[in-house]
Amino acid sequence: MKAKWTLFVVAACFGTVGAWGQEPDVLSIDAEPHHHLAFKNEYVKVYQVEVAPNDAVKLHRHETDALSLSLSESLVTVHFPGKQDVQQKLTNGQIRLQARGWVHSTSVHGDTPFRNDTVELLMPQSGERNGCAQVMAKEPMHCEGVHDRVGLGQSQFETDQTFVGLVLVKPHEQVVVGEPAGATLVVALDSGAAHSDESGKTISLRQGDFVWLEKGKAREAFRNQSGAEVRLVCFGLARADGASHSSK
């Protein structure tokens, strides 16, 4: 009997050591507690993310391609299971691709909260390529000779299904955004812009707010009511349905 108990205790100890060496469970992005779903249709999900200093986004998986739009200056460490951790200094307005299948967690350092809007592209994507921004970190940019796309701005990132552009709105000026042949998601990287809803009411956008324009809807005017330049990121989607929506 004593020999059997000894064998049991040793086996239990080895099992505990093995468990200590394991990664935590991988969550879906919907289950990750810092990702707050703000909008969903059959083409995109928009998550608004905020993480306090010295906290961390838990280990989670991206089931579709997603684009992260940074809304803060943050120093983070990104952990990929089985790979070396990567420390990154994220800038306000930086756009990053989080490719389908990515599994990672993110620790936030310093004294500044980490904020972003994460846009999941629910349609399968192909032909991913950078425009005038390093959205895919290890891939070249393709900016020479690129012209702004009417209603969507300067190319930052493209696939065969999606165009991501940047529109700069000077103080007290107005731009017209959208592409009636497809749907458009507009995300404000800065506070200060305003647009009118279907009732004619003026809606002011804060940093991180967004507007959904359905396919077939006329282009929409955005006016910069502030004294500083405002940046708008515009997602042009190849096909779209669903109702017009604003986060405000």
**What is the per-residue pLDDT across 179-197, written as a single tens digit (0 to 9) for each?**
988 999 999 999 999 999 8
For residue 174, what are the β-bridge partners?
223
Write down the pLDDT at residue 21.
54
Tokens standing for residue 66: 């997603």
Write down the pLDDT at residue 57.
96
Measured CA to CA in angstroms, residue 9 lies from 17, 19, 20, 58, 118 at distances of: 13, 15, 17, 33, 47
Please state, in angstroms and rounded to a whole number, the distance separating the CA atoms of residues 82 and 136.
21
Please state, in angstroms and rounded to a whole number, the distance separating the CA atoms of residues 225 and 238.
31
**What is the per-residue pLDDT across 160-178, written as a single tens digit (0 to 9) for each?**
999 999 999 999 999 999 9
Please state, in angstroms and rounded to a whole number, the distance separating the CA atoms of residues 21 and 24.
9
For residue 85, count other CB atoms closer than 10 A to its CB: 11
Write down the pLDDT at residue 22.
63
Does residue 12 register a pLDDT over 70?
no
Pick from 56, 144, 143: nearest CA to 107: 56
Does residue 153 register a pLDDT over 80?
yes
Write down the pLDDT at residue 218.
84
Measured CA to CA in angstroms, residue 7 lies from 14, 17, 18 at distances of: 11, 16, 17
Write down the pLDDT at residue 69.
98
**Least confident stretch, 113-117, 194-198, 214-218, 239-243:** 239-243
| Domains, the chain | 27-121 (2.60.120.10), 133-246 (2.60.120.10)
Tokens standing for residue 107: 């620790």
